[in-house]
Amino acid sequence: MYLRHLKLIDFKNIKEFETDFSQINCFVGNNGVGKTNMLDSIYYLSFCKSYFSPNDTSSIREGADFFAIHGDYVLKGTAEHFSCTLEADGRKQIKHSGKLYKRHSEHIGRLPSVMVAPNDQSLITGGSENRRRFVDIIVSQQDKTYLNNLIRYNKAVEQRNKLLKNYLKTRFLDETALDIWDEQAAFYGDDIRQRRREFFAGFAQPFRKYYDYVSCADEQVGLDYRTYEGGLLDLLGRNREKDKLTGYTTVGIHRDELEFGLNGRPIRYYGSQGQQKTFLLALKLAQFDYLYEHLGLKPLLLLDDVFDKFDFQRVSKLLQLISQQHFGQVFLTDTHIERVESIIADEFKDKTKIFRL
């Protein structure tokens, strides 16, 4: 996959930007000039949302009524155009070659991308929802059934929670309606759990490979997927009284945990900063491999501020990997033009574009 041309209008602090890209693309400038926003616009066109901002309308430039992102891609030798527009009232439109998607979920997986950013630390130190989201984003890009089941499961749990919250207020519970949402949640939840198990079975090997390569250390790393046992429908029934007391659904795949281990202990508590950063890099590089294998497309690799946030050894290892033919188009940000020019290997000089912002 190759992003040939990008045009932005009123996206975050970028009033207007338009350019062609090369294989390696470097956005250089002082903090606050919009380097990260350039990467985020590419990510937005892949996922219909920002990597950094949970609120859609915050991505509209201050004072503007909308933003627009237009990208010309080459996918398996075919030129294709994608666009995303968002108006101040929240109306969002995603188009493929001028045709409007009926549902945004139809677009997910068309333009696979992998972002490496400083706030990825929350994958290790943050709550379990961050790690579940990491898995869901990867699997959803190559499995439409998984994505649709996840949407339906979340809707079932949302409706179930409404009934439970209403019970706390009124002491009335529509048991028949709750039974229906239990069946829906169980039907989709059990399938999602199985798919997550299959994902970890195939993800663990490339993850360990990249950790060993970047760390150059004899350390044992692991990914421990913790979920409920048995059928979810039975489990929801046995926990109904507890759920009535709490006002929300206490069991299900939305409570799954992914424990990151180092030498048999949780890395979030026992890993050094360097070990945690290596762990994160290995996760993202394994994400690239997984998507490439299942989609047949090389995802775009978006590297935000890695030269400031990672030490020399990790950056050197990352650049060695990028220089291999296994990886495709790369977009990165940095604050120092001299550093960018020095790290680009001679054989990639003619395949690199540097944008001074």
pLDDT tens figures, 21-64: 999 999 999 888 999 999 999 999 999 999 999 899 999 999 99
CA distances from 286 to 139, 283, 293, 327, 348 (A): 13, 5, 11, 12, 24
How far is residue 201's CA from residue 265's CA, in Å, rounded to a whole number? 20
**Residue 305 zone, left/alpha/beta (φ > 0; ψ -120 to 50; rest):** left
Supply φ then ψ for residue 181, to 5 degrees.
-70, -30
How many other β-carbons are positioned within 10 Å of the β-carbon of residue 170? 8
How many CA atoms does the CB half-sphere of 142 hold within 13 Å?
21
| Residue 347 pLDDT > 70 | no
CA distances from 99 to 79, 95, 126 (A): 15, 5, 39
Mean pLDDT of 67-72: 98
Question: What per-residue confidence (pLDDT) applies to 346?
Answer: 65
| Residue 345 pLDDT > 70 | no
Amino acid, res. 152: R
Mean pLDDT of 273-287: 93
Question: What per-residue confidence (pLDDT) applies to 313?
Answer: 77
Question: What per-residue confidence (pLDDT) applies to 80?
Answer: 97
311 or 195, higher pLDDT = 195
Q: What angle do CA 293, 294, 296 make, to 5 degrees?
A: 70
| Residue 92 pLDDT > 70 | yes
| Residue 15 pLDDT > 70 | yes
Question: What per-residue confidence (pLDDT) applies to 126?
Answer: 94
User: Strand, helix or coil at 55?
Assistant: coil
Closest CA to 93 of 106, 77, 109, 74: 106
Mean pLDDT of 327-353: 82
Mean pLDDT of 294-301: 94
Mean pLDDT of 181-187: 98
**Average pLDDT value for the chain:** 93
Domains present along the chain, CATH in parentheses: 1-112+301-357 (3.40.50.300), 125-296 (1.20.1050.90)
Amino acid, res. 130: N
Question: What per-residue confidence (pLDDT) applies to 79?
Answer: 97
pLDDT digits (tens, 9 = 90+) for 227-261: 999 999 999 999 999 999 999 999 999 999 999 99
Percent of the chain with pLDDT over 70: 99
What global pTM score does this model have?
0.92
Contact between 85 and 68 (Cβ < 8 Å): yes
Contact between 305 and 26 (Cβ < 8 Å): no
pLDDT digits (tens, 9 = 90+) for 122-176: 999 999 999 999 999 999 999 999 999 999 999 999 999 999 999 999 999 999 9
